[in-house]
Chains A and B, each alone.
Chain A
């Protein structure tokens, strides 16, 4: 029996109440900017007042919509097998999405990606035991810009069976992406019952929902596909510099997302997500590895939990350009804090350089970090008393405990076994194996995984159907 699930908290209930109230007041008095024609009509039908593109959402509408949003989302894999559930403090990780570069392991340089990078990436994600979801992680350049969103979904599902976090870059792309998802299910109802994908939708700070992202929420809601709101206030630039101000703004932007989704379709699954950041006041960059960025994430997620909604955050990223010590400590802190707060979907593994770059080496290292985080969250187990005294009596007889029955019985339950990329060698062995850093060992591991057959490969019929949709899509 686990004694306690390790947990951290940055907000108390008094402040959660205050933040929620202020966020609702912001939506009521300052309003939200909307430009999508469908949502404008929807808001008007629901009697929401407007002044131009600014819509003032009354608190009772927000409360009603919050009541309709489900507090649990179960995702299913490509083949329709139950895969993971987003609820309470359950945690799951997926690689950070939509990197426009890849860190080339051979040249050591960051470069623009091509489709074969993403094919390889997706296949490797299929082999990673601690990362339960995949994502359309890399934007590659060897297909037309118009296909850059949906084509990734096609490549990802062709090469990895795991449920997926994705999103549109163009309004027109939703239909082909839905078609791709439907190919993996028996019917529209089947897709609604067994969601395979989450669609990210990013409001623009402060307090704006663009045409594209609003449309994505509406379209996803109507198909009962989960939408993940990725509100991204930038503390000190497009959001208040105070962490609590940022959390309040995030809350208002996300509440507007809940209203858009629920007015589109009552009961539509939504995820309270985010990718906030502080602005680095020296460089003007958006450090995802900053501790304050992670603190805003935690506050945002605590608000989502307060509202009893499934949660998401962009954590376990690094701003380093290579998988070095900085990448290790930033990703390690992010993954650990996200685990401790109980973020249901944690996007970020593999990412470097302010969400711009994916690295297979880092992804493999992060997979190990996540394995350790999950071990931590299992906590300390009470196996029954006495805890030690009887075993210690036995030690006196054998002068070792390796062969003790309790050791054999429990060691695999009590210890996490990292892969060989984590250095636990003695120095002689390490020297004998070429004195390699974790980065080099991860590179070697990547080559091994790349050569392994696909984990849970796609069946031929489904692959042909997906190929057909993709080839027709590219002709358009």
Chain B
């Protein structure tokens, strides 16, 4: 099977949300020693791009977007270990995300995490109710580009500001871009905190991260 043929099949499998087929094709690409960077970009990437287009056109809905994202994640888990030398150049950037301390709402953060990793970012999802110090330590350890902090409650939003203040105190503010999310978060709050941006939806979060990395 030629590279072009397999890429076409992969992208169709992704768009059809056929996980089994997509995973089998990923395995086949590895066993046949194909150019895996091309398989990721022109096969899986193309499929995911098409899902995004379908979502933009109103044909696809969030469950389809999420399932497409998780298939992409699973495929990357198979493909990336075989790309060791090129992993760093392939990854678009590293992001640590968490829901802030005192807040156990995780759904929005989880959706953003899945979509980011499906879009080629290396995501460290620390879960919910995560202390600020832990988020910062993880960001340092993993040497991430972006820290994303979510808060659903107006009472826990203050933790987002605290994180930026601690980064400033530790002279680490310039090392990371900090982005905020969560239902009560606004552009105004993001500016008050001195964050690098906020996004009101998962799709806009992906665009925000892409623009900050670029």
Contact between A356 and B62, CB atoms less than 8 A apart: no
Give Cα A33 to B202, complex, Å: 27
The main secondary structure of chain A at its interface with chain B is loop
Q: Give the nearest-CB partner of B188 in chain A.
A: A112
Contact between B58 and A169, CB atoms less than 8 A apart: no
Cβ distance B41 to chain A, nearest Cβ, rounded Å: 27
Contact between B107 and A234, CB atoms less than 8 A apart: yes
Given A100-B184, A145-B158, A284-B202: A208 in contact with B104 (beta carbons within 8 A): yes
Instruction: Identify which of A98, A112, A139, A281 contacts B61 (C-beta below 8 A).
Output: A281
Contact between A237 and B188, CB atoms less than 8 A apart: no
- CB contacts (< 8 Å) of A149 on chain B: these are 155
Chain A, residues 185-229, CB within 8 Å of chain B (1/0): the string is 000000000000000000011001011100000000000000000
- Does B127 lie at the interface of the complex (its beta carbon under 8 Å from any beta carbon of A)? no
Given A170-B155, A236-B63, A356-B183: A212 in contact with B102 (beta carbons within 8 A): yes
- Does B186 lie at the interface of the complex (its beta carbon under 8 Å from any beta carbon of A)? yes
- Does B173 lie at the interface of the complex (its beta carbon under 8 Å from any beta carbon of A)? no
Contact between A281 and B62, CB atoms less than 8 A apart: yes
Cβ distance A359 to chain B, nearest Cβ, rounded Å: 17
How many residues on the B side are at the interface (Cβ–Cβ under 8 A)?
Answer: 23
- Does A238 lie at the interface of the complex (its beta carbon under 8 Å from any beta carbon of B)? yes
Q: Give the nearest-CB partner of B184 in chain A.
A: A100
Interface residues of B in 51-71 (CB under 8 A from A): 58, 61-63
- CB contacts (< 8 Å) of B201 on chain A: these are 283-285
Cβ distance B13 to chain A, nearest Cβ, rounded Å: 22
- CB contacts (< 8 Å) of A145 on chain B: these are 155, 157-158
Interface residues of A in 28-75 (CB under 8 A from B): 33, 35
Contact between A212 and B155, CB atoms less than 8 A apart: yes
Give Cα A169 to B184, complex, Å: 13
Cβ distance A206 to chain B, nearest Cβ, rounded Å: 9
- Does B153 lie at the interface of the complex (its beta carbon under 8 Å from any beta carbon of A)? yes
- Does B105 lie at the interface of the complex (its beta carbon under 8 Å from any beta carbon of A)? yes
- Does A270 lie at the interface of the complex (its beta carbon under 8 Å from any beta carbon of B)? no
Interface residues of A in 333-369 (CB under 8 A from B): 354, 356
Cβ distance B202 to chain A, nearest Cβ, rounded Å: 6
Contact between A282 and B61, CB atoms less than 8 A apart: yes
- Does B154 lie at the interface of the complex (its beta carbon under 8 Å from any beta carbon of A)? yes
- CB contacts (< 8 Å) of B203 on chain A: these are 284
Q: Give the nearest-CB partner of A279 in chain B.
A: B62
Chain A, residues 153-197, CB within 8 Å of chain B (1/0): the string is 000000000000000011000000000000000000000000000
- Does A316 lie at the interface of the complex (its beta carbon under 8 Å from any beta carbon of B)? no
Give Cα A170 to B61, complex, Å: 37
- Does B111 lie at the interface of the complex (its beta carbon under 8 Å from any beta carbon of A)? yes
- CB contacts (< 8 Å) of B188 on chain A: these are 112
- CB contacts (< 8 Å) of B61 on chain A: these are 281-282
- CB contacts (< 8 Å) of B183 on chain A: these are 354, 356
- CB contacts (< 8 Å) of B158 on chain A: these are 145
Q: Give the nearest-CB partner of A286 in chain B.
A: B183
Instruction: Identify which of B58, B62, B107, B202 contacts A238 (C-beta below 8 A).
Output: B107
Cβ distance A175 to chain B, nearest Cβ, rounded Å: 16
Contact between B202 and A211, CB atoms less than 8 A apart: no
Give Cα A148 to B202, complex, Å: 28
- CB contacts (< 8 Å) of A204 on chain B: these are 104-105
Instruction: Identify which of A33, A139, A211, A234 contacts B154 (C-beta below 8 A).
Output: A139
- CB contacts (< 8 Å) of B111 on chain A: these are 237, 284
Where the two chains meet, the residues of A that have a C-beta atom closer than 8 Å to any C-beta of B are 33, 35, 98, 100, 112, 139, 145, 148-149, 169-170, 204-205, 208, 210-212, 234, 236-238, 279, 281-285, 354, 356
In the complex, the 8 A-B pairs of residues with the closest C-beta atoms, listed nearest first: A169-B155, A281-B61, A238-B107, A281-B62, A204-B104, A237-B107, A210-B104, A145-B158
Where the two chains meet, the residues of B that have a C-beta atom closer than 8 Å to any C-beta of A are 58, 61-63, 102-105, 107, 111, 129, 153-155, 157-158, 183-184, 186, 188, 201-203
Q: List 5 A-B contacts (CB under 8 A).
A: A35-B104, A148-B155, A170-B155, A282-B58, A283-B201
